[in-house]
Amino acid sequence: QVRLVESGGGLVQAGGSLRLSCAASGSISSIITMAWHRQAPGKQRELVALITSGGTAQYKDSVKGRFIISIDNAENTVFLQMNNLKPEDSAVYYCTAFLILIGAGPDDYWGQGTQVTVSA
């Protein structure tokens, strides 16, 4: 079993910054990728940023230059530094991990989500 625990969400004014963290725990053999998705009310869930265990990152166009994803492989933790936040960044942010458990094949796992609200 895998548990993903997110932290760092909250309320911030436009132009401000937040840093999200997500720690994966359990019988993990290896992590392939970790990512952040978000879902705003009435909208579809979307991929915000993804990073491989080797550190290769990719971003949604609207967050490029503002958000930075990073990974601590030793701690099975992924971070999302969000700068110059805009009201349209408001959403529930979900951490995901594509990983291999000991004795099992690769699979996707999701956290419970953390709310990010950006006021104008």
For residues 51-78, give the mean pLDDT.
97
Is the pLDDT at 33 greater than 90? The verdict is: yes
Average pLDDT over residues 58-73: 98
pLDDT at 1 over 90: no
Mean per-residue pLDDT, 65-72: 98
Is residue 83 very low, low, confident or very high in pLDDT (cuts 50, 70, 90)? Answer: very high
pLDDT at 52 (0 to 100): 98
Residue 18 has pLDDT above 90, yes or no: yes
Q: How deeply is 24 buried, as exposed, middle or buried, from its count of CB atoms within 10 A (0-12, 13-18, 19+)?
A: buried
| Confidence class for position 19, pLDDT limits 50, 70, 90 | very high
